[in-house]
Amino acid sequence: MRAALPLTTLALLTACAAPPSAAANAAEYARQRLSRSFEPFDLQAAMARVRAQEPGAVPRHAARHIDQQEPLRHGARRFHGSVTPVAVSVAAGVGTVEVKAPGTTLNDRAQATFVRLGIDSSVTSPRGAGLHVQIFGSDDDLFSGRMFSDGLAPARADAEVRGVDVFPHLRYDLVAGDSFAMPMRIGLFADLIDVEHAAHVERTWTSVGPRVVFEPAWHLLGDAERGLDLFGRFGGEFGATWLREQFRGGDDLDETTRWAAQVGAGLRANLGRLQVDLGYQLDQIWFGSTSTELYGRRSGTDVLRQGLLLGGTIVF
């Protein structure tokens, strides 16, 4: 009330000194201001008046006040709008694992299960990064009915084989068309394969090295959002391997080389952000010759993994 009285007095003095029309306007202004000072404050009405002045509330063709003008954008902002989609995939299936050790009776295959996990960044960009992990394990009847030396005496060779493969890599889209695409993955792998016999004998291959994988895909039906693709997988690798044998009466360690090839094919259904694929995968691994205390000098060991996997991928 005290703040309004000086303003009202000033307005009345101005009205007296001004022309009749100006005096009338000043008196009306003073009357309205005095009446508003006694009105109750309406928060919702005040917020409505503020929102009415937002940049989005002003038509594009209307002239905007300088406070309503937005700065021009030069490229993507660092934090807002620069996040690219990430794809997470899970697959599982059944198949077989075959192990061949030339010069011994250890030549057999067993039923196995496979689990494959993956995460890929920047899936909508021509370049990205990813991490793929595959885990497998066989039944315990590998080499069933065969005999071998456990280090001290002849024993049954029944065994099971387990393994894990980790593949961090970079992805480059060599071809990225509407009907055909060719991503390439290049990186380093780390692989462990363990054959454990019931007779307390264990052989473990630990390998590392470079790997390259090509994944061509042909679009068969539908569009980019919903459709059906035919995909393939072809890859190769070379690395160093450390073989460790543990048996009754001792253990031994040797170094060798490893070669491997990957072949696969399948169908993929695209359902928006979700992809479902069914595919066949074969991995052939050749280990170089070794010289260990239990088996002596051998020409090497071959491991063949193959399976049918059903999986899904979701894009975040």
The β-bridge partners of 181 are: 176, 217
Distance CA 38, CA 45 (A): 16
Q: Pick from 95, 111, 114, 105: which is nearest to 143 by CA?
A: 105
Cβ atoms < 10 Å from Cβ of 30? 19
Distance CA 307, CA 283 (A): 9
Q: Pick from 100, 130, 132: which is nearest to 114 by CA?
A: 132
Asked if residue 162 lies in contact with residue 194, where contact means CB atoms within 8 angstroms, the answer is yes
> Please, where in the chain does CATH 2.40.128.100 lie?
86-315
99-124 pLDDT tens trace: 998 878 889 999 999 999 999 999 98
For residue 17, pLDDT beyond 60: no
For residue 2, pLDDT beyond 80: no
Percent residues over pLDDT 90 in the chain: 63
The CATH classification number of 86-315 equals 2.40.128.100
pTM of the prediction?
0.74
Cβ atoms < 10 Å from Cβ of 37? 13
156-177 pLDDT tens trace: 999 999 999 999 999 999 998 8
